[in-house]
Amino acid sequence: MSLLELTHATKRFTSGQRETLALQDVSLELDPGDFVAVYGLRRSGRTTLLRVVAGILPLDEGTARFDGRDLADRSAGALGVGIGYCSPTFDPAHGGTVTDHVAVALLARGVGRSRACARAEEELARAGASGCANLDPRELHLDELVRAGIARALVTRPRLLLLDEPTNGVDVLQRDGILELLRAAADGGTAVLMTVGEPLGGPDRVLALDDGRLRGHAVQEQAPVLPLRPRHVEPVA
Amino acid sequence: MTAARARRKEQGRTPVNAAVLGLVIERPSYGYEVWRRFEARFGGVIDVGASRIYQAFDGLLADGLIEPAQDAAVSSRRQPRPCYRATRAHRAWLADELRGDPARLELNRRLLATAADDVPTLLEVVGRYEQACLDEMTELRADARPTPGSAGGAPEAMRDRLLTEERRLVLEARMKWILFARRQLEAVGAPPRRQPPAESS
């Protein structure tokens, strides 16, 4: 059993009399430590795919299972616990500084403020954004927003990290650093699934999504084998 | 350019010639020294004897890409060893190499033309081409990473980054072409839309 199993997933959107197939019979598997990119242009279905995997959007056909649990079961509540969704947008209501924003998910889980802030600062340092800790998110450059967003998504130690075009608009000289950060997360045992609108180096597998159809090695064809590189999985807090 | 000259230029574009030119661009050298550096740099990937290096010198001299370096000539007690350096023409040659191989493109065009009427076969070809491009994207990783132990601004790391970015952008163009090709082929191969029956008069 894989960590994430999407099986024959189909998702439709209806607007008036027009029906759009955002995902067509998509199957996808991810294991811990996998780093997978889904390449697609606009309106290819890439954001829908992430939202389905996050459990935000229900499927019309097929199943989406995370850690053996059906994501259609709302009581499972995987997003924010086992699944981290990275977004570069920061709601001012969550705090004044970047540290506040990164800590908010821990505060919501009952972690004390000083411990939550300390953990947030550790995660920001790991993401290469410690210099942003005391800044207002509105002061950050795009690459810093992405790094802070990754820190915010990883602070709860999710087993699956989802990112929608993390390098979109990021300066080319900053792009590789963000990919290295995601590679480090995967090497640490977190499964990473990101969408990209341009070919990028870094992932173990790259899939192509077009018109809601996924192509490439979406499902592991070979029998599971022990990874060549040792992976250290940190315990979930 | 005459046909004979163009053919000779094509023949001169061998990996060995390119590698030898690269080593001479790196620093003016004589045959044995180039061979030693060739073995250290490309050994196991391209294995050649010393005589092949001299053949490459001849080809590169004929194409005007290298010239004898009189001021840097190396002489031994027995006989002088001709030392070569790159001419300014090598810059145009390098740019030409990076631009791609027109002969290969023409070959691909003719190969595709052989199956122009067989849409399912062409769709399969496009699918295989797409998978090759997706696999190549995963290979970009090793090149994009800085060389261990070298600073980010080291010449080797800089060269890797430049070449990786060039490959990445080529892949981006190929992926867009694949999308275009598949949609074109699917439009041609799709069953025609059923027309409403004509009303009988």
Tens-place pLDDT, residues A87-146: 888 888 888 899 999 999 999 888 889 999 999 999 999 999 999 999 999 999 999 999
Amino acid B21 reads L
Residue-level pLDDT at A75: 61
**Alpha carbon distance A158, A105 (integer Å):** 12
Residue-level pLDDT at A226: 47
* SS3 state at B192: coil
**Alpha carbon distance A47, A193 (integer Å):** 11
Q: What is the mean pLDDT of chain A?
A: 87
pLDDT bin (cut points 50, 70, 90) of residue A222 is low
**Alpha carbon distance A55, B128 (integer Å):** 32
Q: Give the number of A-B residue pairs with CB atoms closer than 8 Å.
A: 62
**Alpha carbon distance A214, B180 (integer Å):** 16
Residue-level pLDDT at B153: 57
Residue-level pLDDT at A66: 92
Nearest to B175 among A37, A180, A199 (CB): A199
Half-sphere exposure of B75 (CA within 13 A, CB side): 6
Q: Report the gap between the CA of A38 and the closest CA in chain B (Å).
A: 10
Pair A237, A156: CB distance under 8 Å:
yes
Q: Which stretches of chain B sit within 8 Å of chain A by CB? A: 127, 130-131, 133-135, 137-141, 143-145, 161, 164-165, 168, 171-172, 175-176, 178-179, 182
Residue-level pLDDT at A212: 93
A200 touches chain B (CB under 8 A): yes
Of A5 and B143, the one with more pLDDT: A5
pTM, entire model:
0.73
Taking chain A, what is the end-to-end CA distance rounded to the nearest angstrom? 24
DSSP chain A: --SEEEEEEEEEEEETTEEEEEEEEEEEEE-TT-EEEEE--TTSSHHHHHHHHTTSS--SEEEEEETTEETT-GGG--BTTTEEEE-S---GGG-SSHHHHHHHHHHHTT--HHHHHHHHHHHHHHTT-GGGTTS-GGG--HHHHHHHHHHHHHTT--SEEEEESTTTT--HHHHHHHHHHHHHHHHTT-EEEEEESS--S--SEEEEEETTEEESS-S--SPP---SS--PPPPP-
Measured between CA atoms, the residue of chain B closest to residue A210 is: B179
Q: Report the gap between the CA of A206 and the closest CA in chain B (Å).
A: 5
Q: Which among A216, A220, A223 has a CA at the least distance from the CA of A196?
A: A216
Instruction: Name the DSSP class of B193.
Output: P
Residue-level pLDDT at A235: 46
pLDDT beyond 80 at A12: yes
Q: Report the gap between the CA of A184 and the closest CA in chain B (Å).
A: 12
pLDDT bin (cut points 50, 70, 90) of residue A225 is very low
Residue-level pLDDT at A77: 59
Residue-level pLDDT at A164: 93
Torsion sign across C-alpha atoms B69, B73, B74, B78: positive
Nearest to A201 among B133, B135, B140 (CB): B140
Pair B129, B178: CB distance under 8 Å:
yes
Pair B82, B70: CB distance under 8 Å:
no
Residues of A in contact with B134 (CB under 8 A): 39, 205-208, 215-217
Q: In this structure, what are the phi and psi dihedrals at residue A216, rounded to the nearest 5 degrees?
A: 110, -170
Residue-level pLDDT at A115: 93
> Which residues of chain B are under the pLDDT cut of 50?
1, 142-147, 150-151, 199-201
Residue-level pLDDT at B161: 81
User: Chain A window 66-105: which residues touch B at a Cβ cutoff of 8 Å?
Assistant: none
* Beta pairing partners, B172: none
Of A40 and B104, the one with more pLDDT: A40
* Beta pairing partners, A29: A5
Q: Report the gap between the CA of A139 and the closest CA in chain B (Å).
A: 27
**Does B127 sit within 8 Å of A39, measured CB to CB?**
no
Residue B48 token pair: 């050649």
pLDDT beyond 50 at A68: yes
Residues of A in contact with B152 (CB under 8 A): none
- B15-54: pLDDT as tens digits: 888 888 888 888 888 888 999 988 888 887 788 888 899 9
Taking chain B, what is the end-to-end CA distance rounded to the nearest angstrom? 68
Quick check: ipTM above 0.90?
no
Q: Which among A160, A206, A232 has a CA at the least distance from the CA of B175?
A: A206
pLDDT beyond 50 at A224: no
Q: Which residue in the block uniquely carries the two structure tokens 């024959």?
A: A8
Q: What is the mean pLDDT of chain B?
A: 76
**Does A41 sit within 8 Å of B168, measured CB to CB?**
no
- A167-208: pLDDT as tens digits: 988 888 888 889 999 999 999 999 999 999 988 888 999 999
